[in-house]
Structure 1
Amino acid sequence: MSADRTIFTTTEMLARLVAFDTTSRLPDLPLIVWVEAYLGAHGLTATRSRGPQDGKVNLHAIIGPQTDGGIGFAGHVDTVPVDGQAWTRDPFTLHADHGRLYARGAADMKGFVASMLAAVPDFIALRAPHPIHLMLTFDEEITCDGARVLAEDLQARDVRPALCVVGEPTMMTPVIAHKGRLAVRVSVVGQPGHSSAPGDGVNALHAMGEALAWISAEARRLAHAGRRVEGFDPPHTTIQAGVAQGGTILNIIPEQASFEMEWRTVPGDDAHAELDRFRRFLGETIEPWMQSRFPQTGFSVEVLTELPPLSLADDAPLAHRVRQVTGANTSGRVSYGTEAGIYQSAGIASIVCGPGDIAQAHRPDEWIAESQLVACDRFLRAMAARPFAA
Structure 2
Amino acid sequence: MIDPHNVPAEAEAILAALVSFDTTSAKSNTDIISWIEAYLSAHGVTFKRYPGPDGGAEKWNLHAVIGPVRSGGLAFSGHVDCVPVDGQDWSSDPFALREENGRLYGRGAADMKGFVACMLAAVPDIKELTNDEPVHLLFTCDEEITCDGARQIMSDLAADGLLPERCIVGEPSLLAPIVAHKGRFAVRIHFHGTPGHSSNPEAGSNALHAMGRAIALCADEAERLALEGQRVAGFEPPYTTMQVGVASGGSILNIIPEYAFFDVEWRNVPGDEGQAMFESLKAKLAPLEQSLKTQSAQGGIRFEALCNLPPLALPVDHSLTLLTQQITGRNSAGHVSYGTEGGIYQRAGMASIVCGPGDIAQAHKPDEFVTRDQLARCDRMIRDFVKRGAKGHEL
TM-score, structure 1 as length reference: 0.97
Paired AA for residue 67 in structure 2: G
What secondary structure sits across from 2:276 in the alignment? helix
Deviation at 1:287, TM superposition (A): 2.3
Q: Paired residue for 1:337? A: 339
Q: In 2, are the aligned partners of 1:128 and 1:385 still within 8 Å (CA)?
A: no
Q: Which runs of 5+ in 2 are unaligned?
A: none
Which stretch shows the higher mean deviation, 16-25 or 51-60?
Answer: 51-60
| Correspondence for 1:97 among 85, 96, 100 | 100
Paired AA for residue 73 in structure 2: G
Q: Paired residue for 1:264? A: 267
Mapping 1:1-390, distance limit 5 Å: 1=1, 2-5=3-6, 7-51=8-52, 52=54, 53-284=56-287, 286-387=288-389, 388=393
Paired AA for residue 38 in structure 1: Y
Instruction: Tell me how far apart the structure 2 counterparts of residues 296 and 283 of structure 1 sit (CA, whole Å).
Output: 16
Instruction: Tell me how far apart the structure 2 counterparts of residues 144 and 275 of structure 1 sit (CA, whole Å).
Output: 19
Deviation string, structure 1 residues 140-194 (Cα, Å, up to 9, x no partner): 0011111011111111111111110000011100010111111111101011111
Deviation at 1:336, TM superposition (A): 1.1
Deviation string, structure 1 residues 326-384 (Cα, Å, up to 9, x no partner): 01111001111110111111111100000111111001111111111111111100011
Which stretch shows the higher mean deviation, 27-36 or 46-55?
Answer: 46-55
Deviation at 1:389, TM superposition (A): 6.8
Deviation string, structure 1 residues 37-74 (Cα, Å, up to 9, x no partner): 11101111210110225120111111111111110000
Q: Structure 1 vs Structure 2: percent identity of aligned residues?
A: 54
Structure 1 segments of 4+ aligned residues over 4 angstroms from their partners? none
Instruction: Tell me how far apart the structure 2 counterparts of residues 57 and 270 of structure 1 sit (CA, whole Å).
Output: 29
Q: In 1, are the aligned partners of 2:8 and 2:14 still within 8 Å (CA)?
A: no
Q: In 1, are the aligned partners of 2:5 and 2:42 still within 8 Å (CA)?
A: yes
Which stretch shows the higher mean deviation, 254-263 or 50-59?
Answer: 50-59
Q: In 2, are the aligned partners of 1:143 and 1:305 still within 8 Å (CA)?
A: yes
Deviation at 1:270, TM superposition (A): 1.4
Instruction: Tell me how far apart the structure 1 counterparts of residues 181 and 372 of structure 2 sit (CA, whole Å).
Output: 26
Q: Which runs of 5+ in 1 are unaligned?
A: none
Q: In 2, are the aligned partners of 1:75 and 1:167 still within 8 Å (CA)?
A: yes
Instruction: Tell me how far apart the structure 2 counterparts of residues 11 and 389 of structure 1 sit (CA, whole Å).
Output: 29
What secondary structure sits across from 2:72 in the alignment? coil
Q: In 1, are the aligned partners of 2:244 and 2:264 still within 8 Å (CA)?
A: yes
Q: In 2, are the aligned partners of 1:170 and 1:353 still within 8 Å (CA)?
A: yes
Deviation string, structure 1 residues 87-126 (Cα, Å, up to 9, x no partner): 1210000000111111000010000000110111111111
Paired AA for residue 332 in structure 2: T
Q: In 1, are the aligned partners of 2:28 and 2:59 still within 8 Å (CA)?
A: yes
Instruction: Tell me how far apart the structure 1 counterparts of residues 8 and 134 of structure 2 sit (CA, whole Å).
Output: 21
Q: In 2, are the aligned partners of 1:27 and 1:55 still within 8 Å (CA)?
A: yes
Instruction: Tell me how far apart the structure 1 counterparts of residues 47 and 8 of structure 2 sit (CA, whole Å).
Output: 18
Instruction: Tell me how far apart the structure 2 counterparts of residues 372 and 329 of structure 1 sit (CA, whole Å).
Output: 18
Instruction: Tell me how far apart the structure 1 counterparts of residues 91 and 137 of structure 2 sit (CA, whole Å).
Output: 33
Instruction: Tell me how far apart the structure 2 counterparts of residues 338 and 4 of structure 1 sit (CA, whole Å).
Output: 31
Q: In 2, are the aligned partners of 1:174 and 1:351 still within 8 Å (CA)?
A: yes
Quote the RMSD (CA, aligned, Å): 1.3
TM-score, structure 2 as length reference: 0.96
Paired AA for residue 213 in structure 2: E
Instruction: Tell me how far apart the structure 1 counterparts of residues 394 and 208 of structure 2 sit (CA, whole Å).
Output: 55
What secondary structure sits across from 1:134 in the alignment? strand
Q: In 2, are the aligned partners of 1:241 and 1:259 still within 8 Å (CA)?
A: yes
Q: In 2, are the aligned partners of 1:6 and 1:42 still within 8 Å (CA)?
A: no
What secondary structure sits across from 1:199 in the alignment? helix
Q: In 2, are the aligned partners of 1:189 and 1:204 still within 8 Å (CA)?
A: yes
Paired AA for residue 238 in structure 2: P
Q: Relative to 1, partners in 2 of residues 1:190 and 1:389: Cα closer, same or farther, differing over 3 Å?
A: farther
